[in-house]
Amino acid sequence: MKKKIFLSTIISLALLLSVAAGSYAATKMTLIVNGSVAKVDPILIKGVTYVPLRAAAELLGAEVGYTKKTNTVTVDSYSFNAAETVLEINEYGGQDLAIVEEAGETTAGVSFTQIDGIEADSANIEMIFELLVGFGADYSMVIYESYEGDEYVEIGTISILTNDYIDYLNGDISETELSDKWIITGFEE
């Protein structure tokens, strides 16, 4: 009798485990984001679906980064609209956006007509650089000029590797480190 109970218990346990395994196998999931199938399988734990962050973020067009110094993961999603960005650049005084390719490198640049002098204009110029980042060029540049009589006269240019400016915006480099990366021409003392 004890053998029958023991054997029944073992068979019942085996059946229960096989049903549970079948249920687990039946919950295989597929992640689809905006019509694209992810190359990873989501997992379901206690009613919560988990997916690798990078896989989901990249399918949404976002960039995933990691800063070792601060042990920080960043997800940046840019819904970039070139026309709106040009209008914003114009609001800060930037004009004549041009994206130029030379020797395999691209530069996104605008002209900026002096308003109150370089020190006073620096806040507007900084905002323009933040907006130029969205164009994805290798370099970002502002041509600083004045309007004298009936013509524009170039005072100088300010440019930077766009990735260096992105590192600054993301907090990966300090303002002091950034100051060494600017490429400045003209601006006679």
pLDDT digits (tens, 9 = 90+) for 107-125: 999 999 988 888 889 899 9
How much of the chain is helix, strand and coil, in % rounded to 5? Answer: 40, 35, 30
∠ CA(129), CA(132), CA(137), 5° rounding? Answer: 120
Q: What is the pLDDT of residues 62-120, one digit of tens each?
A: 788 888 888 888 887 766 788 889 999 999 999 999 999 999 999 999 999 988 888 88
Please give the pLDDT value at position 23. 46
Domain presence at residue 169:
yes
Residue 3 falls within a domain, yes or no? no
What would the pLDDT profile of 29-45 be if each residue is shown by its tens digit?
887 877 777 788 888 88
Mean pLDDT of 126-154: 91
| pTM across the whole model | 0.59
**Count of H-run helices and E-run strands, the chain:** 6, 11
Establish if 117 belongs to a structural domain: yes
Which residue range is the domain that position 136 belongs to?
Answer: 82-186
* 16 is a domain residue: no
pLDDT-derived band at 5 (thresholds 50, 70, 90) equals low
65 vs 131, more confident? 131
Q: CATH number of the domain at 124, please.
A: 3.10.310
Give backbone dihedrals phi and psi of 11, rounded to 5 degrees, phi first: -65, -45
In a domain, 76, yes or no: no
Spell out the residues 6+ positions from residue 64 whose beta carbon is closer than 8 angstroms to its own. 53, 54, 57, 58, 73, 74, 75
Residue 59, in any domain of the structure: no
Which tokens belong to 151? Answer: 């013509």
Residue 46 is assigned to a structural domain of this protein: no
Number of domains within the chain: 1
How far apart, in whole angstroms, are the C-alpha atoms of residue 125 and residue 141? 10
Determine, yes or no, domain membership for 17: no
